[in-house]
Amino acid sequence: MDICYESDAQMSVDSDDDTDWTRNFSDNVRVQEGIHPTTATSPLGKCRKTLGKAPMKAPSQRVILHFDLDCFYAQVEMIQNPELRNKPLGIQQKNIIVTCNYMAREHGVTKLMFVTTAKERCPQLVLVSGEDLTHYREISYKVTELLEGYSPLVERLGFDENFMDVTDMVDAKLRQEPVPSDFTVNGHIYNRQSLDTRAEAHMRLAIGSHIAAKVRAALHTKLGLTGCAGIATNKLLAKLVSGTFKPNQQTTVLPESTADLMTSQAGLRKVPGVGHRTAQRLQTLGLSSVRDLQCFPLAQLEKEFGVSAAQRLHNLSLGIDDTPVTPTGPPQSLSDEDSFKKISTETEVLEKIEELLTSLLDRMHKDGRQPRTIRLTIRRFSATNKWFSRESRQCPIPSNIGKKIISGGQDAKAPLVNITMKLFHKMIDRNNPFHLTLINICFSNLQARGADGKGSISFFFTQRSPSKPADQEKSCLEDTIDTSFSDTSLGEAELGLIPVFSNSSRATYRGN
């Protein structure tokens, strides 16, 4: 439907940040002299006094891998049609190239380029529609399933990225046999740092690099996919380092190179967890680089953002991340959306809602769970605030309609269209002109079939209304519980630049 498409997320941190896993950064992690994994001679040395003096946890012994598949959509298409392998290939959604293979990139084609521009640069470019996400979704889950065969601690990040905690595997390897003195890292070492076989942290990461190489080889052998990997002591560093060498390569960052990796980021927006609005607020404080944020007095940062958010930002800039790799599990919501230049009539809105619901109902039936909540999100046109004007309304789905959803067919479509249009009227005054550029419908609060039965625990804790079923639809709309404006699209994120991470079913594709 749109270049902003389903995967595993849609959320914001502080109403604007584009990563969920950074939300859980420890609020108590502070910097202490001699403990942070930067050395006394690091670039941070000159601003040590401004970094705070509260105690910080010692560097983690975890080994975290980050896998990022190469030009995922293009790879899937080339696997389906091997004749495309030796041709410049672009995946098209609307009038945008959402990703392209490396042969196309050699001809000057880039992701998020207009199709007309791409064809001018590469007349022989083969275009394949990427509107139908079904096969991409299927392959994506096969990737995650393969990774889970190595470790149960696998966390999805959209269609093409996964975190994997292999700490236990490394521990087991160390218990089995001593590491030979000539043991080395598989792949690149960030900053060309030398491996010290006497340093435990180095050897743990070196073992992790061999696990990463083995997993990448399995991805290619079993699924035909190539990708990059980052190996580090936490999720933040693993993600940042994974794309250092592309395509189909891997990079390990040793603790002593943490400072260099962080300060090498082109700007604060390159750091996962720093969203558009947060970056703007930091810029008003005179902060435009990671180094600026590292050296900025924490007390002043707390005045602007509050203690918790300030500490999170401070930790991010230093490469500190205690968040665990959390197995993703089934998506917490299913959604679909479409963007367009202009919808300005109720008839057009109705047609688009019917189109989106048709697709969602089919997916919901295949999922097998019953949604309890429906949310409608719209984006109004704004010449001055193009990307950050989403507004949402949501309400419970009456039980009788929910049962129709999981039973299959399209019997639930008509009542859901009615509910969704009422949500729409809560946001839009039909007597005044309107200009919409996006509509999103989301089913959330998914529950397993039969979870609300009288024999279930939830039955006894659910407040039931004595009203008739016919009244339920009305009451749910009168009790709308969400009227939020959010910039989850994040400008570039909406165009596919940045992944939005959380355990739901929609994310914005970053490409690769």
d(CA 364, CA 501): 21
Query: Among this protein's residues, is 256 annotated catalytic?
Result: no
- From first CA to last CA, the distance across the chain in angstroms is 20
Distances (CA, A) of 201 to 195, 198, 233: 10, 9, 9
- Which amino acid is located at 363 in the chain? R
Dist. CA 163–CA 181, nearest whole Å = 29
Q: Which residue has the tokens 């030398």?
A: 194
The whole-angstrom separation of Cα 498 and Cα 49 is 34
Sort strands 485-486 and 126-129 into parallel, antiparallel or unpaired. Answer: unpaired
Q: Which of 77, 155, 161, 473 is catalytic?
A: 161
How far CA 94 is from CA of 8, 116, 344, 420, in Å, comes to 22, 12, 19, 25
Residue 405, SS3? helix
Per the DSSP assignment, residues forming a β-bridge with 443 are 334, 374
Give the separation between CA 428 and CA 381, rounded to whole angstroms: 13
List strands edge to edge, sheet with 485-486. 333-343, 436-447, 370-380, 390-396, 485-486
Q: For the chain, how big is the Rg over CA atoms in Å? A: 24
Question: Which of 30, 389, 385, 331 is CA-nearest to residue 158?
Answer: 331
Could you tell me if 449 and 364 are in contact, meaning their C-beta atoms sit under 8 angstroms apart?
no
How is the beta sheet containing 89-93 ordered, strand by strand?
113-114, 96-100, 89-93, 126-129
Contact 117, 131 (CB under 8 A): no
**Cis ω before 247 (30° cut-off from 0):** yes
Residues with catalytic annotation?
161
